Amino acid sequence: MLHVAKPYIGEEEINAVIEVLKSGMIAQGPKVAAFEEAFAASCGATYGIAVNSGTAALHAALYAAGVGPGDEVITTPFTFVATANTILQQGAIPVFCDIDPITFNIDPASIEKHITEKTKAIIPVDIFGLPYDVDAINAIAKKHDLKIVEDACQAHGATCGGKKAGTFGDVGCFSLYATKNITTAEGGMIVTDDPKLAELAKQFRHHGQSQTVRYYYADMGYNYRMTDINAAIGIEQLKRLDGFNIKRKEHAAILTAGLAEVKGITTPTAPDEYDHVYHQYTIRVTDDFSMSRDELCAYLREHEIGSAVFYPHPLHLSDHMKMAKGHGTQLPHAEKAAAEVLSLPVHPGLTEADMNHIVHTITSI
């Protein structure tokens, strides 16, 4: 079976974990500090704050960006649920916009229409590994004095105009879950150049404790700390990131070369100046194809090829989002994407032969 995602753990990661376990220091300690420094440097950011999930990263970043009860936060409905759940976790109101049908990312024109006096921030998502429309959305944020919390959970190492994902807004959030471009099993990372924001994120990660006075709690907080065990894995994975991304891009190029001309299949693209890191290689299966999207998924499974639908239910139609603005409305591009998308295997553990096999299996239908 060719799986749609598969983590790569080498001897280096295993040895690094053993070293931490034997050291006697297993919770947040020197490995976390070293990982934060290396990760921030790899993005070209000043501060890195490690946490125990991408969800925790988004929650802490929203808090640090000043998002609180009653504030409106504009985001996309075509993303993993955690993007919008963290807005609710802060007592704020998600505001759902439509997406661009080509990039699958939030549409800047739709954002402008949804800005009110209550709007505090935008969470653009670098979906599938392609950064958001940086120039247009940053200009909107500047004009209306809004914070940008970039959800880069799928975009480790992606670039736009030579800058790295995570650094396009005020604060960037990464997930290090098992299936992401690099992993710590579970984990997350916040990157920023803003010292105040970094301090507040660190405070939030540790129960709201003041960064200067021990056992003095400056505000509400959580236990979002990463362990040195996870950080030790992360330090090794970070060294592999560029190599992993090169493989993903090579695999994507084989799929695109083989599938671009197939009637009823639309292959993913990246605008000029953008480097897509293909966390997912996501095609559209349209009415012109000889099978429905779900039939193609089942057919591939019968042929030992995994595929997956990210994401079948746009969040503005989700029951628990009923307090969100845009809940239950029509966001046609997001809904069409949810009905048509299919992600094919592209991870670095696959071979060129595997990729050709996937192409051949689809073109021979």
* Nearer to ligand PLP among residue 54 and residue 326 (C-beta): 54
Shortest gap between Cβ of 309 and ligand PLP (angstroms)? 14
Phi/psi of residue 139, nearest 5 degrees: -65, -40
Residue 73, both tokens:
């936060």
Most distant CA atoms of the chain, gap in Å: 67
CB of 234 to ligand PLP, least distance (A): 12
Of 152 and 359, nearer to ligand PLP (C-beta) is 152
Give the nearest residue (CB) to ligand PLP: 54
CB 53 → ligand PLP: shortest distance, Å?
3
Q: Output 86 or 159, the one with its CB closest to ligand PLP.
A: 86
Q: How far is the CB of 101 from ligand PLP (least distance, A)?
A: 18
Q: Least distance in Å: CB of 363 to ligand PLP?
A: 30
Task: Give 57 or 296: the residue with its C-beta nearer to ligand PLP.
Answer: 57
**Complex with ligand PLP: residue 57 or 359, whichever CB lies closer:** 57
Provide the minimum distance between the beta carbon of 135 and ligand PLP in the complex, in angstroms, as a whole number.
Answer: 21
Question: Applying CB under 6 A, which residues contact ligand PLP?
Answer: 53-55, 79-80, 82-83, 125, 151, 153-154, 175, 177, 188
Can you tell me the distance from the alpha carbon of 181 to that of 8, in angstroms, rounded to the nearest whole number?
10
Whichever of 79 and 110 has its CB closer to ligand PLP, that residue is 79
Separation between Cα atoms, residue 154 and residue 179, nearest integer Å: 10
